[in-house]
Amino acid sequence: MLNSSGIRTQRRNLRPFSLGEMDHLEPKTKNNLTGKLLLVASLLILAIIVINQSSSFTSPSAFSQREEGVTHVLVTGGAGYIGSHAALRLLRDSYRVTIVDNLSRGNLGAVKVLQRLFPQTGRLQFIYADLGDPKAVEKIFSENAFDAVMHFAAVAYVGESTLYPLKYYHNITSNTLGVLEAMARHKVKKLIYSSTCATYGEPEKMPITEDTPQVPINPYGKAKKMAEDMILDFSKNSDMAVMILRYFNVIGSDPGGRLGEAPRPELREQGRISGACFDAARGFIPGLQVKGTDYKTSDGTCIRDYIDVTDLVDAHVKALEKAQPQKVGIYNVGTGKGRSVKEFVEACKKATGVEIKVDFLPRRPGDYAEVYSDPTKILRDLNWTARFTNLQDSLQVAWRWQKIHPHGYDSY
């Protein structure tokens, strides 16, 4: 019966129970117990996951400690075109490699190729992170024992830089400062910096030597020069070994057919001429647009020094090997020979076997008429010289990868 307050006065029959007797419980009690058991199980699973992923409960990672005879290189932008080729070369030469990339321009597919090629523990790790995030950068450096940094990560399109200059100063200059600060805090002693011939602007005299005045004419070149200046100022009171490589127009791909150039579709208009040639040859675009035919050159089109990506990464490895504490090396990386855009297009036609339609348009903002290098210094100091200098051959190697992978790394 109920008392006047409406509260049940009859005492409930309480008795011990086993799990097998749960069917005899009242529904409310039964549901509460079931919920508690599910909560305990969930917490147990979560704890197992945390334990498995936490370095506090596992043996130290090979990447977190230095090892005699093993050089651990951080490759920023290692999912990109040049960075992935550099990572491949380093791994082939038995370096330990950490790739950091935010995949805004790079391709996860390139990283997966490298992971399949080098699956052994302690060879390669990939960290998805943005170098513009100071907390992420600090975490990367505090959890890994790097011996050197190859800093490729950067947006790198001249035309785009004139449209979005602040993006370029932030991504190139500011992010390089963050990397440099982290290296100093964590006593990483070698920096190989990926710079560009765009820092020279449009010199009055050719070929370009390392002493040619740097007067960049577009935000891309200006941002790279600012980054160089920061590195040089820092190095004056540091024992860091620094190499700055100013390279020219990159073409080609891995001769083994494992990696290639795969720019994002939305960036193709801003991208390299080789990518545009291949897109036209495959019918992805109606033809090739050559911007600028009134330059003071032999045929009116721009003249550039085209360097094969295999040669370029070889220069980076040689720079890494030769870098000395408290010294800065600055080198142009090019073939020493200029080729016009029209020459390039004819070589691309022969490499692909396709009669590509060409439209001639007005100049692109920020471009310059003629740029090619004098590679004397890098030959003398690093014993490096370009080996893959036949334009058509380099394009044929790249074209083979493009044909097999018409949609880039999505074709795997």
380 touches 334 (CB < 8 A): no
Task: Order across the sheet with 124-128: list the strands.
Answer: 124-128, 96-101, 72-76, 148-151, 190-196, 241-247, 328-333
DSSP for 126-165? EEE--TT-HHHHHHHHHH---SEEEE------HHHHHH-H
Residue 105 structure tokens: 């321009």
What are the φ/ψ torsions at residue 18 (nearest 5 degrees)?
A: -110, 170
173 Cβ neighbours under 8 A, 6+ residues apart = 223, 226, 227, 230
Cβ neighbour number for residue 189 with a 10 Å cutoff: 16
Q: Residues 220, 247, 306, 409: which is the catalytic one? A: 220
36 Cβ neighbours under 8 A, 6+ residues apart = none
Measured between its terminal Cα atoms, the distance across the chain in Å is: 75
Task: State the amino acid at position 64 in one-letter form.
Answer: S
Residue 133 structure tokens: 């995030």
Greatest extent of the chain over all pairs of C-alpha atoms, in Å: 109
Nearest to 146 by CA among 177, 185, 176: 185
- Return the residue matching tokens 């999505």: 410
- The pairing of strands 303-304 and 339-340 is antiparallel
What's the Cα-to-Cα distance from 193 to each of 106, 143, 180, 237, rounded to whole Å?
Answer: 18, 22, 10, 18
Which SS3 state, helix, strand or coil, does residue 176 take?
Answer: helix
Task: State the amino acid at position 332 in one-letter form.
Answer: N
> 331 an active-site residue?
no
Which residues are the active-site residues? 220
